[in-house]
């Protein structure tokens, strides 16, 4: 069933939305998340990624249609080639696609996913208190807005 949904999602993204790129799903009201997305946008010189907030209709529908509705809005997600990556797996894959500092990436991959996910969950649980939050989701400028899915 999940494989069939992934196939349908890929078809929808490629034909109707004309998207054949990895999609980063992030908490649109989280300052830390917005800063992370801005960091990625500045380094995504090849325009590889598309973006969607976890509050968007697209993201909610994706999670429901693929039986992932239990995933929290606090979780960064990467939809890539029909697969959904979350937590540290998503972050490591994003950094790898960006070809971000290979030495640092190799060092991060030394740690087990469970340890990286624990660190991720500690930060995500406290992100509003430490970094603050916005009243509304990010509003991208006109140049980048074509890469945001709502």
- 129 dihedral zone (left: phi>0; alpha: psi -120 to 50; beta): alpha
pLDDT (0 to 100) of residue 75 = 78
Position 25 pLDDT exceeds 70:
yes
* HSE toward the beta carbon, residue 6, CA cutoff 13 A: 11
* Cα dihedral 79, 97, 25, 66 in deg (nearest 10): 10
Burial readout 9-33 (b: 16 or more C-beta within 10 A, e: otherwise): beeebeeeeebebbbbbbbbbbbbb
Q: Which domains does the chain have, with CATH numbers?
A: 2-147 (3.40.30)
Is 72 a residue whose pLDDT tops 90?
no
pTM score of the predicted model? 0.82
Q: What is the pLDDT of residue 140?
A: 67
How buried is 129 (Cβ within 10 angstroms: 0-12 exposed, 13-18 middle, 19+ buried)?
exposed
**CA 27 – CA 136 distance, rounded (Å):** 11
Arithmetic mean of pLDDT over the chain: 83
Going by pLDDT thresholds of 50, 70 and 90, the confidence category of residue 9 is: low
Helices then strands (H, E): number in the chain? 6, 4
Greater confidence, 62 or 22? Answer: 22
Q: What is the mean pLDDT of residues 38-46?
A: 92
> Taking residues 95-116, what's their average pLDDT?
94
Query: Could you tell me the pLDDT band of residue 1, with boundaries at 50, 70 and 90?
Result: very low
Confidence of residue 63 (pLDDT cuts 50, 70, 90): confident
- Reduce the DSSP state of residue 64 to 3 states and report it: helix
Structure confidence at residue 3 (pLDDT): 46
User: How much is the pLDDT for 67?
Assistant: 78
The confidence band for 24, taking pLDDT boundaries of 50, 70 and 90, is very high
């Amino acid at each position: 069933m999940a494989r069939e949904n992934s196939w349908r999602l890929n078809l929808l993204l490629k034909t109707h939305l004309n998207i054949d790129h990895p999609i980063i799903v992030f908490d649109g009201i989280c300052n830390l998340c917005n800063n992370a997305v801005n960091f990625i946008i500045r380094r995504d010189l090849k325009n590889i990624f598309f973006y969607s907030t976890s509050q968007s209709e697209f993201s909610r529908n994706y999670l429901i249609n693929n039986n992932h509705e239990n995933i929290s809005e606090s979780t960064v997600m990467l939809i890539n080639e029909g697969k959904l990556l979350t937590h540290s797996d998503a972050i490591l894959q994003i950094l790898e696609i960006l070809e971000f500092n290979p030495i640092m990436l190799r060092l991060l991959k030394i740690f087990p996913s469970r340890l990286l996910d624990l660190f991720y969950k500690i930060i995500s649980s406290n992100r509003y208190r430490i970094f603050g939050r916005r009243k509304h989701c990010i509003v991208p400028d006109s140049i980048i807005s074509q890469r945001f899915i709502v």
